[in-house]
Each structure stands twice: as C-alpha cells, then as structure tokens.
Chain A
Amino acid sequence: MDIGKKISTAAAIVSVAGLVLFGATSTDVAAIEAETPENQDWQFEGVFGSFDVASIQRGLQVYLEVCSACHSLNQMAYRNLADLGFNADEVKAIAAEYEVTDGPDDNGDMFQRPARPSDKFVLPFANEKAARAANNGAFPTDLSLLTKAHPAGPDYIYALLTGFEDEAPDDVELAEGMEYNPYFSGGQIAMAPPLFEDSVEYSDGRKATVENMAWDITNFLQWTAEPEMEERKRIGWKVVLFLLVLSAMLYAAKRKVWANQH
C-alpha cells in the first residue's frame, strides 16, 4: 500500500504540477479553529487503493445498529449491499428487517410493508421537523456523502468519532445539551458521543472498541460516498497506460514527419 500511496502522491503532483499554485484552496476554507484531524493510513487511499470489504461490512453493522437511529443514508439502497459480497437472499433479509410506507392501495390507503432490495435505506425520521424534535433541535446530517463533504474527509470522521472529551476547556462555554469535540468547527456538537466500548458485537471476533468501530464506520461511509471507486481506478489504469503508449507513438510519428525539417 505504501508504494501505491507514494505513486499516487507522485502522480497527483505530476498531473497538477504548477496548477497547485492556482488551485490550493479547498483545504483551508473550513478551518475555523477546529483541530486538524490526524492523517490515518486508509486502505482506499492512493491510485491502487481498494476497499477493505470486511471493515465495510462491520461498518454497515455499526451504522444499522447505532448511527441509523438518527442519521439517514438517503443515497443508498439495500440492493447496493450486493457490492459488499452479500448474496440476493442476504440482501433481501437485511431489507426485510425494515418497514416502509407504500401505497396508495386499491382502496386509496397507504400501508406498511417490509422493505425490498430496491428500496432506499429507511430514514430514521419522517421529516426534518421530527428529526429536530427528537434531537434537541439539531438535525442529524445525512451520511451518504460525508467523506467527500469535508476537506479532511475520512480522517475528519474518524477524528470526530474518537475525539469526544468529557470536559470542555475553560475558554469554551458549552450551550445546553451540547458536547465538546475539538474537531468539530466551533468545538460544540449536538451529537452525544455515539460509540461506547461494545456498542455492537462483531461476529468475526474483532473487539468493538471505540477506535475499531470508528475505523469501520469510516470505511463504510467512504464506500457509500464513492461506491464506484474501485472500478474507477481499475479503468483509470487501463486508460492512462493506453494514453501513455499512444503519446509515445504519436511522438515517434511526429519525429518521423518532422525529420526532414530540423
């Protein structure tokens, strides 16, 4: 992975050489006194990066058993779980554990039925008002794209989930019902620490520490944000290698054409 990372860094530097001067803006925009998340070594990073499917599956479990109580995942459907290696029956079984409102039926009435693979992940609240009413006025954000919506992305989510502190420093006055988290902009977050030791029970024997669960949920959310990532990089290598060979051939052709003019 390290080599992959280095190559990716090099590729990024080469491909955007000089443009950085114009473009290096995205990282420093949202930096309002929040602590900078520590850089973690994720398997999905780099041009050879791939999904850690076992971790993503555990992350799914954490989402379904913990996060989904408040947070929606409105871009994802149960059928997408097939990408994680679940077979059709397993996907059906997971979906069937949730109820959705369907209808109207022939009598004009709405009715409840078990969710099907084609349904989107069931939302925790009927609407934003209901969500706020249940959460001290705060609206739990949708998680589908979260790793792409913050400059530090996955590192930020991991740092936030593992960064809650019991006591706020003296210069931070917490509003009622707020928690202190140095990675959240402003330091105050309406979300109570969501993860505790053994919040879930992993079936593969991995210990459910706060760090492990935060790690798994971050891998899971990276997948929900960019489900196309592995295919994208796979095609990318073919395309870039093809173009490099094509460029070399066109250079040779150009030299040949110009041979009598130099």
Chain B
Amino acid sequence: MSTHTQHSSSSGGGLVKWIDSRLPIFTYLQKEYGEFPAPRNFNYWWNFGAILSFMLVIMIFSGIFLAMQYTPHVSLAFDSVERIMRDVNYGWLLRYMHANGATFFFIAVYIHLFRGLYYGSYKNPRELLWIFGVVILVLMMASAFTGYVLPWGQMSFWGATVITNLFSAIPLVGDAIVTWLWGGFAVDNPTLNRFFSLHFLLPFVILAVVVLHVIALHVSGSNNPLGIDPKGPQDTLPFHPYYTAKDSFGLAVWITLFAAVVFFAPNFFGEPENYLKANALLTPAEIVPEWYFLPFFAILRSVDFNLWFIDAKLGGVIAMFGSIFVLFIVPWLDSSKVRSARFRPVYKWFFWIFVLDCVLLGYVGGHAPNAKVFEGVDWLEFIDLGHVGTAWYFIHFLVILPVLGMIEKTKPLPTSISEPVLGGGQAAAGAAAKPMEKA
C-alpha cells in the first residue's frame, strides 16, 4: 500500500508533532481513517460497519450507567430495574436505549452479515476478517443472552433455564456442566451474579475483537459491490472526506429510526411476560427468546427425532450450534472464484432463497411447534416448516455453496472498478503495471 504517509499528519501543532514522533497515533489515524484508500463504488450496504461501531459504543456507555443503578440479586434485580425506569434521572431513556440498542445492534449485524454473503466479502484474502466477524457475532449472542437475564423477569428466568439446560444434552458430563454453569442446582442467585459479571465483561471482549476485525480489514482493504480488487488510485477514494460524509449520513438515518422506536414504541420488540417478576413455580405458557434468536431457536426445536445414537435433544443442540459454526467455514465452502453475486446469476437466486429461509425460521421460532400454520389446515404444523427450513439452511451452506461454484457460469467481470463507475471504456493506466491477484 502507499508509502508516502510517514508523518503526513505533521500539519498539527508542536504538541501533536511531539506526541506523534514518540507514539505515531496521529499518523496512524491519518493513514487508516484519513487517506485510507477505499473502493470508490461502495453502496449504502457498506454503511453498516460504521453503524455497528456506533451501536457498540451506545451499548457500552448506556450499560455502564445502568450498572451503576442495577442490583444483581434475585430479590432486588427486578425492582432495581423498575427504580431505574421511575426514579433515576432519565433512567427510562438509558434502559430503553440499551434494550432497543440490542435489537438495533442485531438488525445491523444481520444486514452486515448478509451483505458479506451477497458480495462474497469472506473470500480470499478476507477469510480471517470474516472469521473475526463471526467471533463477534457469537460474543454478541452471549452478551445478549446474559443481558436479557438481568432484569429477572419471567422470560429472563425461564429463558436462562431453557438455554442453560441445553448443555445437559451433552453425554456423560452434561448434568455436571449445567450445575457448574448455574453455580447450584437451579437458576438462582449465583447464576444471576455470574451472568451480570459476564455481561459486563463480554462487550469489552467484543471491542477487542472489533479492533482485530478492523486491523484485518485495513490490511486486505474493503471488498466492494463489484467484488474485484482496486487496480490503482483511479479505483479508490480517500476514506475522508468521501466515506466519512457518506457514513455520517447513513448513521444519522439509522439513529433516527432507533430514536423513533426508543421514544415511541420502546416495548415493541420486547416480550410482555418479562414485566412479570421471575417466578420459579410458574412456567409461562410459551417460552420464547428475543426475536434475534428465533431462527436458531427454530433450528433447535426442529430436530425432534433420534438419529443413530444421538437423541433428539442432543441433535437439536448440535444443529443449533452447528448453524452458527458453519459460518466459520463459509470461505472454504464457497468454491466460486467470483466474489460478488452481481456476476453470479444463479447464486443470486440462492442467496435470496436463503434470506427467505432465515425469515421463515424466525417465523417458525416464534410459534409452538405443533400449532397449525393456517387455521383449518390440519396437515401443516410449524414443526413441518421448521424441518424444511432447517434442512435448507444446511443444504445452502454444505451443498449449494460448494457445488454451485463448480457448475455456475458467471458473468464476465469488469476490468476495473472505475470502468463501470465512471462509464469510461479506457483501461486504467496503472492496471497493467501493477497486477493484483485475481480472486
């Protein structure tokens, strides 16, 4: 990459120079966020990196202030949350931002993830970048789960009970592991205490992995909607001011949507049952996780049959964890050399089918397995949709991705990014001089 950046930020005053010559933080910022060459053809789907960074900061700050008022004890937690809502200055704003922040964090991360799947952002040389992203997703899920337990409402308690109980499916040591997780023989005060501790810790682990994610991004450079590598300066723009301006606009729109929900429909995404205090003697009619876990919850419940020596419970747990861990190996499952779905006419269809499949699984996850999908149609229950949706989820990754890359006839790639963007037919001068790897 460019080498002329050394001390390029030395336009600052004496103090800036003094610091920069000892710890080149200003040079670094200038290089990575100022002149960092980004492909010139990003569309608005590339805004979500900035949006996610913003959401992480929002969650950490609102969370720190909530933790100052929250009491992690089974007999006090629920009331301490209500005290935040009623007696702490703008406590309702902090809590609604934090609760809906989780929802908006997940909306953004799912869009970001599907963006990566559509444009092949996980392919050589960005495999590690992708893997760090999946690690962040897993950590986000752990954070969201531990955080949801803290208000100690009915769904907090029963959700924690159901999810921790999944580990009892592990042969031989399962029950011991569950007891160890709980810190006792039921979800109780020790469980709440450790979940609070972990919920405070995990966001900072996420922050650390985000740093790795961004470092990896700045080594390989960003992918772009065409999925071809920049071939010279005519294909890129300095990050600032072009993408700082574009990200700022996208971020403002995003915050507007976020604010609309926080102020006008703060409980829209929430589960009403969680406004009832946890009661170990009263099981809710239906235990459902937050919306962002529903597709995985559907996969968990869709394995309702024994397979060889694997009973249904263990099978469901394997399928659920498998549905997340399969993401780690996507870079090696997809055999196509072409990144962007724009030039993959068949993959494009399968991508959208996969999106619909995930939506379907989310829909299934929110309903009792043996409920009828349509009133009066006795032969179609949600579990049937769950079977199909789960099977397709894995077929997409384990069959479609490897096979399609071998048989699909892709469209010809443009010779450079600037060609379709600027509409000029001229081959870029630098393209021949500096060939980059064709991925």
- Chain A: residues with CB nearer than 8 A to chain B? 8, 11-12, 14-16, 19, 21-26, 28-30, 32, 47, 74-75, 80, 141-142, 144-145, 148-151, 153, 185, 225, 227-228, 232-233, 235-237, 239-240, 243-244, 246-247, 250-251, 253-254, 257-258, 261
Interface residues of B in 398-415 (CB under 8 A from A): none
Inter-chain CA distance A237–B292, complex, in Å, is 28
| Residue in contact with A26 in the complex, picked from B85, B271, B365, CB distance below 8 Å | B271
- Which residue, of A14, A144, A247, has the highest number of chain B Cβ atoms within 10 A? A247
- Chain B: residues with CB nearer than 8 A to chain A? 40, 79, 82, 85-86, 92-93, 96, 103, 107, 237, 241-242, 245-246, 248-249, 252-253, 255-257, 259-273, 275-277, 284-286, 288, 291-292, 294, 359, 362-363, 365-367
A229 to chain B, nearest CB (A): 9
Inter-chain CA distance A149–B275, complex, in Å, is 5
| Residue in contact with A22 in the complex, picked from B82, B237, B294, CB distance below 8 Å | B294
The 4 closest A-B pairs by CB, nearest first: A236-B263, A25-B366, A149-B275, A247-B252
Inter-chain CA distance A79–B288, complex, in Å, is 37
Known: A15-B261, A26-B269, A261-B237. 12 other contacts (CB 8 A): A12-B265, A16-B265, A23-B291, A29-B271, A32-B285, A141-B276, A148-B272, A228-B85, A236-B263, A251-B249, A253-B248, A254-B248
Contact residues in B for A12 (Cβ distance below 8 Å): 264-265, 268
Quick check: A239 and B267 within 8 Å, CB to CB?
Answer: no
Chain B, interface SS category:
helix
Closest A residue, CB atoms, query B295: A22
Contact residues in B for A29 (Cβ distance below 8 Å): 271, 273, 285-286, 288, 366
A99 to chain B, nearest CB (A): 22
Quick check: A47 and B264 within 8 Å, CB to CB?
Answer: yes
B341 to chain A, nearest CB (A): 19
Contact residues in B for A23 (Cβ distance below 8 Å): 103, 268-269, 291
How many residue-residue contacts, CB under 8 A, span A and B?
Answer: 135
Inter-chain CA distance A68–B238, complex, in Å, is 67
Contact residues in B for A244 (Cβ distance below 8 Å): 256
Quick check: B82 and A75 within 8 Å, CB to CB?
Answer: yes
Contact residues in B for A153 (Cβ distance below 8 Å): 272
Quick check: B272 and A257 within 8 Å, CB to CB?
Answer: no
A46 to chain B, nearest CB (A): 9
Contact residues in A for B253 (Cβ distance below 8 Å): 247
Contact residues in B for A228 (Cβ distance below 8 Å): 85-86, 92
| Residue in contact with A258 in the complex, picked from B103, B242, B262, B264, CB distance below 8 Å | B242
B380 to chain A, nearest CB (A): 16
Given A15-B265, A148-B267, A257-B242, also A24-B366 (CB < 8 A): yes
Give 27 A-B contacts (CB < 8 Å), ordered by A residue.
A8-B264, A11-B260, A11-B264, A15-B257, A15-B260, A15-B261, A16-B268, A22-B291, A26-B272, A30-B273, A75-B79, A80-B86, A141-B276, A145-B82, A145-B276, A148-B267, A149-B276, A228-B86, A228-B92, A232-B96, A232-B263, A236-B259, A239-B259, A250-B248, A253-B249, A258-B242, A261-B40
Contact residues in B for A254 (Cβ distance below 8 Å): 245-246, 248-249
Inter-chain CA distance A142–B154, complex, in Å, is 14
Closest B residue, CB atoms, query A252: B249
